[in-house]
Chains A and B, each alone.
Chain A
Amino acid sequence: MSSKIIRDPLYDYISIDRDRDPWLLELLDTPEVQRLRRIHQLGISYLTYPGADHNRLAHSLGVVHLTQQAFEHLARISSDDPRIRQGRAAVLASAMIHDVGHGPFSHLFEPCLGADHEVWSRAIILSEESAVSQVLTRHFGSDFPRQIASLIDPNNHDQPAWQKYLLSSQLDMDRLDYLRRDSLFTGAGYGHYDWFRLLNTFQLYEDDDSGWDIVWSEKSLLAIEEYIYSRYYMYQNVYLHKTTRGFEKMLEAMWRRAREFHDGGVDVGLLPAIRAFWDAQSRSPRGDGRGEATVRQYLAIEEFTVMSQIQAWQGHADRALSDLARRFLERRRFAMIEAPSFDDPFAPDFEGWEAALLELVGDWVGPGVPAEMYCLRDQLNARYSQSYFPEKESDEQSGKNAIRVLVEGEPKPVEVSRLRPRLQPLTQGLTDRVRYYLPRELKENALRLRDEWSRNGRSAKTLGSLRPTRLG
């Protein structure tokens, strides 16, 4: 047996068997997978954590490594059930290419380009032009790319549930890798848990209705608890860090401005790759946002393309575009303020408050620049910012929306926070949270306006008379 050995800071060695899985090495060597080397796993978190320079390829290999181990465990506990053997290649392939559709800077740049990485992942896998698709077809037949695309599609259930849950659920191979990897590279020091135990104690639960589901044994309880707390700390300290979020919103505002100009026929000096993508995307728009853009056009946009574009905008005639480009490259951040507290339990008056805040900012930016460019709203969707949110009604639970544990004497697996009530403060639903980023010169007045608004709502006075020096 000969293996390809890859050094990895988390697992020491990642090994791929050349005799058993030669196709996996071919997949690794495709241009689409190699491109993942040039995508930051944590977007622009390096502006907060200088060490966060790790990339999507290392993460994808980590997910492959954990998936290999998960299948060894599955083979043991299922007495080498043929369903496990038959499912192995599909899940391993998905592990390797689940992120292949990510664009520059991972998630954060999606609104800037108007692209959804899941849509593009499926498009790349299904495109006959892609090397990824050709490798999969050559080794497993022409239907195999469709199987992989359906495995990573959250709304497609053509493939068995247990395969999908290994890749995407509340406790999956993807999360098991990225939490520890992100912790290591940021140096944040959180994100530690007994991953080995989690990987070697899950069970296959035969549900009468849905076939196999992934559950854990009671001896995993502490490790699950540790994992949920790790996620919580990572969200608080890394993923939702206010500095990172502020620069993300700045990027969005900058690119939204450029797109509006471009769509309106104003020249913003777009680089050819970005121009070609946006033009094709705008033609005959489709529901999934791809328009007529091809896989080749999408893959041509790299992080260095984006950075070159921002660099070019520093000298652009539009005051706001050039100013935000310079601020981003020089890492000059905006100040953050939280939204006011609203008394109304049914319909918090964000519209009224934001109109008042925009008036304050508008006085500062002056004519010709939309105030929205300097008053950046950040809605932290609870869905993406909570470490673990289980569905609590048993009849609606699956591996997708709950981590469940087999308990002696219970007829069905039990959701973990019912067994560990101390998890409940973390698991009970958070609501969306709204923050605003604006120039530091405006922070003090914005805070005063917020206090006034919290006390008096729409009858609050605006503070337009308190004008600091204007922009530019």
Chain B
Amino acid sequence: MTRYQLAKVVDWAGTLDTRKRMQKVIYLLQIAGCPLEIEYTLHFYGPYSQEVARLTDDLVRAQVLVERAESNLVGQQFSYQLADEARRHFAEFELTPRGKAAANVLTPFEPLARQLFQVDLKDLEYASTVVFFRTQGYDWPMAIAKMCDFKRLTRGHQVVEQAEATARQVVA
């Protein structure tokens, strides 16, 4: 994944709330066919990529992204926006041949990303976990059963059905 690609996802969101959403949205975009080439491993809170975490911090240091931290009952959470100055460079880059080519690859995935920004955070976690099990070769019922065992959820519960619907939408 390039700096441009991650910045573009944040740009679509306006404000991207939480690193968790960043992780899961990018994972699901990749599953939907977006060529990001990121390696994810399954952590307890769903698919997780150290590369995405690093790149996010890298863009904050490069003053491309503005990071805001908030402490709440969960602990610390972070949100991200494209910095004003970076937005100008961003627009200039997208006018170059390399920038246009990079943008063309991502544009088809913008509608899905915008949908995923609206999905409840827990739903994203469960849906991406189901999808992860699907990529390991399990069929839908088994992937959902594995997710329920892993997350200690009851099959047939509303959150499980919602996660399945979100997962199927991405995989379709």
User: Contact residues of A with B, CB < 8 Å?
Assistant: 154-155, 157, 161, 209-210, 344-347, 349, 382-383, 389, 391-398, 400-401, 411-412, 418, 428-431
Contact = CB atoms under 8 A, between A and B. Distances in A.
Contact of B4 (A346, A382, A430): A346
Interface string B8-40: 000000000011100100000000000000000
Contacts of A395: 18, 20, 45, 74-75, 77
A209 B136 contact: no
23 contacts: A154-B41, A154-B42, A157-B42, A157-B44, A345-B89, A346-B4, A346-B89, A346-B93, A347-B2, A347-B99, A382-B54, A389-B53, A391-B48, A392-B78, A393-B19, A395-B45, A396-B45, A397-B75, A398-B45, A401-B48, A429-B55, A429-B58, A429-B61
B4 A347 contact: yes
Given A382-B54, A429-B56, 9 more contacts: A209-B152, A344-B93, A347-B93, A347-B102, A389-B53, A391-B19, A393-B18, A394-B74, A431-B58
Contact of A412 (B75, B132, B151): B75
Contacts of A397: 75
B50 interface: yes
A397 B76 CA distance: 11
A398 B44 contact: yes
Nearest to B152: A209
Nearest to B133: A155
When A and B form their complex, which 7 residue pairs have the shortest distance between CB atoms, in order from nearest?
A394-B75, A429-B57, A429-B54, A346-B4, A393-B19, A210-B44, A155-B42
Contacts of B7: 346
Contacts of B18: 393, 395
A400 B45 CA distance: 11
Contact of B54 (A209, A344, A411, A430): A430
Contact of B3 (A346, A394, A396, A398): A346
A347 B75 CA distance: 34
Contacts of A155: 41-42, 132, 136
Interface string B42-69: 1111001011011111100110100000
A382 B57 CA distance: 12
A391 B54 CA distance: 9
Contact of B77 (A157, A394, A412): A394
Contacts of B102: 346-347
B159 interface: no
Given A346-B90, A430-B54, A396 B19 contact: yes
Contacts of A346: 2-4, 7, 64, 89-90, 93, 99, 102
Nearest to B54: A429
A162 to B, nearest CB: 11
A398 B150 CA distance: 14
A346 B44 CA distance: 32
Nearest to B24: A396
Of B23, B45, B58, B64, most A-chain CB atoms within 10 Å: B45
Given A396-B43, A398-B45, A429 B53 contact: yes
B151 A209 contact: yes
A170 B99 CA distance: 38
Contacts of B73: 411
A393 B74 CA distance: 9
Interface in B121-166: 132, 136, 150-152
A395 B77 CA distance: 8
B86 interface: yes
A383 B48 CA distance: 13
Contact of B98 (A345, A347, A389, A411): A347
B3 A347 contact: yes
Contacts of A344: 93
Nearest to A346: B4
A431 B42 contact: no
Contacts of A393: 18-20, 75-78
B76 A398 contact: no
Contacts of B98: 347, 349
A209 B56 CA distance: 27
Given A392-B19, A398-B45, A401-B48, A157 B150 contact: yes
B152 A345 contact: no
A396 B89 CA distance: 31
Contacts of B50: 383, 389, 401
Contact of B51 (A154, A383, A411): A383
Nearest to A382: B54
Of A157, A345, A398, A428, most B-chain CB atoms within 10 Å: A345
A401 B43 contact: yes
